[in-house]
Structure 1
Amino acid sequence: MSKAEEKPESKPTGYRSGVAARLAGLPVETLRVWERRYGVSDVDRSPHGQRLYSADQVRRLGLLKRVVDQGHAIGTVARLAADELIALAGAAPSPAGPGAITQTLKIAVAGTALARRLGAIRTSPELDIVASCSQLEGAAEAMAGVAADVLLIESSEMSADALPQIQAARRAMQVRTVVVLYRFCDSATVRRLREHGCLVARAPSDAAEVAVLCSTALTGAARPPPGPLTAPPPRRLDDQALAALSSASSSINCECPRHLADILMMLASFERYSYQCQNRNASDAALHEDLGRSAGHARVMMEQALERLAYAEGLPLPDKQ
């Protein structure tokens, strides 16, 4: 075969360090330190010597950031495999397994321009835009009840004032994680958004990179257990009844009635406090309603436990409320 007929050598493909760091939600300086000190990735290089990261390696960097943010030292996790990082982070692997990128991701988009750009190209993983609205303001109402893997938000100027709107949209929808893309944003706001479980990154120029961001966020998205859906019944034992049981327990050797009475007083107090927070702060209403319900259901269980203990110890039970 002549040289003219020889097939050209395939060139390594991937994301350069700056893009990989942005997609993983890391400062590029941090990635360089991690590479130099801990060798976090074994990456290919371009013909010009530039480091090139695959989509799987970008997702692994995102998981590393997640576990480090949770308090693990980078030196102890730098060499862990993706499935080990997923287990450590308490994250939910994708249905196709750790690192898989072939599944279709259902996306709800706040940002009409971004939705158009994504709808015009093919990405890996494929993005299925199930709902969209023009902007973050009003997204909670416009996309209420929408079920999606990712809520994707694009904003030219992102500020801390947007956080209540993001929380409201997340509560109104059924989404596993949130990705926030910005052009200008201060570092304090970026930190606050990340503290609330958002993957935050500067908006990439290549729309195809958005798919990798969504996949990275989804791989690292924890699935908290659902809260109780029903309101708890009213208190069976008020503070006066609990005080009476606590005093009566001093006549027996077992201190458990008194301890349970103390726990119940604290639970009842926290239950009231949660509902007060709900009334004071509309943006956190759903969260504090969940906390109040959870405390109420815990109270019911402990009330029943105290009643069983009182019967076993022969303590007089006051009339139930």
Structure 2
Amino acid sequence: MTLTTLPAGPLFRIGAVSHTTGIPVSTLRIWETRYGAFNPTKTEGKQRLFAEQDVSKALLLKQLSQNGHAISTIANLALEQLRHMSNLPHNTPQSLAVPGQPVSMAVVGLSMANRIESQKFAVGMKQNQIKVTDVLADLAAAAHAKLEQLPQVLLVKVNTLQTTVHTDLQALVAKHKFAQTIVIYNFATDIVVQAMKFSGFIVRREPISDIELAELLQSVLFVDPARAQEFGTSGGVIAGRKYSDATLSRVAGISTNVLCECPRHVAELIAQLASFEQYSQECLNRNTEDAHLHAYLTSISGSARSLFENALEKIAQHEGIDLREGAG
């Protein structure tokens, strides 16, 4: 294949693939020439150029071979087959063992999926393990995808945040009921960013290092998954906000028969916790030196906010209060 038939998307030289995956260049060449694992583009000067799909495949081949699979038996498998195999139970090497239950995640964007599936990132996740169940090229592909495993977290990488992206994400979350959605972007206006935050999305601008990304994910995961059910969440994931500031303000102003004005107090507590949760998240974005502390504070405030949202639902059911957005 020559430069006139280059595939769409970024291309990487074999040295860059080796650096990203931790696989020696010599091993990548053997996997290509002996086992036919890759079919890289070659320039007029015979320089190998690998696509993002090749990087994804290299990472999965490395993981599966470390788990005991012979490279000769898996090299020719399709990317989705390799992903399915990687999610099956296996004996994890001791150096990568992570306590607690894995959190299932759908990833939109091949470059982001490659980062999440790398060994370096897995080590950085410390106490929580990520299980990538679905990888989608972009939001258009995600809109038509059937996610049978119902992942708990949606991680999205986009270059530009626009109103259409916000709308597409809201439809995607409504369809699949993700507990939490994280969006990584390069460019956006403040209006769109704030709108997405008010919708309950965690939004973060590039550049973001693997360590920062790991801390960001830690901030929406419970340290103790066994307590997740107490907070009404799914598998240890802290759910995004259920109620806007406008809804909470409306509930706080309703006069009820409950003693001590419980609806008002609970609604105000939720608003305060949500504000502190957002404040901690912004500190996490700005101050990388104290990222672990701010990730912990975000997690704690998010947990408490989720707990009080459940309490508000019980109060609303008892008092006949409509919590739907825009209700009178």
Q: Same fold (TM over 0.5)?
A: no
Bigger radius of gyration among the two: 1
Which structure's relative contact order is higher, taking Cα pairs within 8 Å and 6+ residues apart?
A: 1
Instruction: Indicate the TM-score class for this superposition, using the shorter chain for normalisation.
Output: 0.3 to 0.5
Q: TM-score, normalised by structure 2?
A: 0.35
